[in-house]
Amino acid sequence: MRTAIAIGFLYAVFIAPASAASFNCDKASTFAEEVICSDSRLTVMDEELARLYKAALASAANKAAISAEQKAWLATRDHCKDSNCIMQAYADRIATLKGAAGGVTGTYTMKGGEARIQQANGKIKFFISASHQENVGEISGETALKGDHADYADAGNDCTLAFKFSGEKLVISQDGSCGMGLNVSGSGTYKRVSTAAPSFDDE
């Protein structure tokens, strides 16, 4: 009886992790999947990524784009030759999906600039203020959020903006004056300092 109990305990210890990943480890067919099933850290990351991906799909206006990004990421992951590569791939993708699924609403700042973002219904409303010496400029608008990025264009205002969200960071690339004034640009890397819905009273 004791032997049977011991065998049962060992079976539970070594088999349990196989059901912990987001996929069936008994059917692992790639090197990456086998490594994930044998490494508890990667198993946890795989579960987290699966939850974030599901949430991103649920909130995305363009579900096909999120799905395509995920398939491309899986292909990249499966090219990994060691566990460190796989872990980095998961860390990068989780950061991206947190931006998409966890919400990008908040206030972001950098030296000489501030960006306020409100996410809702697959779109972002934004307000950007920046300065250069004595010159201060502002721009606001609304555009579709596609996964972890958004693009805004206003030809009449000589303005193109690209937003890239990654975890708590926001990278904005500005092309054109955007009516912000001489040498004033919203381009740069911003850090989120608040996740509260921002005020747009001074647009």
Domain count, the chain: 2
21 three-class SS = coil
Angle (deg, nearest 10), helices 31-38 and 83-101: 90
Kindly report the average pLDDT of the chain as a whole number.
84
Its pTM stands at: 0.53
Instruction: Select from 176, 133, 182, 126 the least CA-distant residue to 156.
Output: 176
**Same domain, yes or no: 15 and 65:** yes
How many Å is the Cα radius of gyration of the chain? 22
**Same domain, yes or no: 146 and 72:** no
**Domain end marker among 101, 117, 143:** 101
Residue ranges making up the domain that contains 188? 106-194
Angle at 146 between CA 142 and CA 151, to 5 degrees: 50
| Residue 201 in domain | no
Instruction: Give pLDDT, residue 19.
Output: 43
**Same domain, yes or no: 43 and 58:** yes
| Residue 199 in domain | no
Single-letter amino acid, residue 152:
Y
pLDDT tens readout for residues 96-142: 777 655 578 889 999 999 999 998 777 899 999 999 888 899 999 99
Q: Hey, what are 183's tokens?
A: 């040498």
